[in-house]
Amino acid sequence: MELIDVIRTTNACRYYKTDEVSDALVIEVLDAARWAPTGSNKQPVTWVVVKDAAKRRALHDLYQPLWDGVMQKYASGAIGAGFKPGFLEHVDHFAKHLKDVPVMIVVCAAVNDITPVDANLGRLTVTGGSSIYPAVQNLMLAARNEGLGSTLTTILCLAEPEVKALLDIPDELATCAMITLGWPAKPFPGRLHRKPLADIAFLDSYGTALPGA
């Protein structure tokens, strides 16, 4: 595929076939991921590929109540608004069928190899993840290029102690995400739902229109 078409159609895949994903493809997407940039090239990210059915079920059992809690907040209007029609239904379906996705990849990071340069600005640090998620996106783009669907999830990080115990993840690592990987049961979107460029890109001063955007 053309790179730009991969970028424009890599969605969060909510519906998967249960067909196996070959080891060669899993290796291919992980290999794409490792070319991502990281601060000082420290490469803090490691991956645990979970194919074992019992462990996938265990991850599902940890994920489901966390998602149910978020879903309740969405449903009550406490968080979130303006979703696309069907969004919550699709995400709920994804959660309910998580154990059936053939591959789950738990993303880990060596916390000591991450330097959040904005840690002392008196607000939430956002650079803490900046040596982690470029690799995740590389993986998802490589998957899309092979016709595989994927979804980046972070809710499972709330169950980090349990996930680390289940997968024997060393103490010094943080869990950063869980990516699902499998063959999509529905076609990829022709176009993702994203803000117009003119709303998010500016020239020389924030808020000044960028010509051509």
Ligand X SMILES: Cc1cc2nc3c(=O)[nH]c(=O)nc-3n(C[C@H](O)[C@H](O)[C@H](O)COP(=O)(O)O)c2cc1C
Which of residues 38, 131, 150, 151 is near ligand X by CB under 6 A?
A: 151
Tokens of 170: 């060393």
Minimum distance from CB of 95 to ligand X (Å)? 7
Q: Closest approach of Cβ 56 to ligand X, in Å?
A: 16
11 is a site residue for ligand X (CB under 6 A): yes
Q: Looking at beta carbons only, is 72 or 154 nearer to ligand X?
A: 154
Q: By CB under 6 A, how many residues form the interface with ligand X?
A: 11
25 phi/psi in degrees, rounded to 5: -70, -40
Q: Does 91 bind ligand X (CB under 6 A)?
A: yes
192 binds ligand X (CB under 6 A): yes
| 152 counts as binding ligand X under rule CB under 6 A | yes
Q: How far apart are CA 185 and CA 101, in angstroms?
A: 11
Q: Does 193 bind ligand X (CB under 6 A)?
A: yes
Burial of 89 from C-beta contacts in 10 A (0-12 / 13-18 / 19+): exposed
Q: Which residues contact 192 (CB under 8 A, 6 or more apart)?
A: 8, 9, 10, 11
Which stretch in 25-33, 151-159, 165-173, 200-208 sits in contact with ligand X by CB under 6 A?
Answer: 151-159
Burial level of 178, CB count in 10 A (0-12/13-18/19+)? buried
Task: Identify the sign of the CA torsion 178, 13, 130, 120.
Answer: negative
Helix (H, G, I), strand (E, B) or coil at 158: helix
Among 40, 80, 154, 213, binds ligand X (CB under 6 A): 154
Residue with Cβ nearer ligand X (27 or 111):
111
The footprint of ligand X (CB under 6 A) covers 11-12, 91, 94, 151-155, 192-193
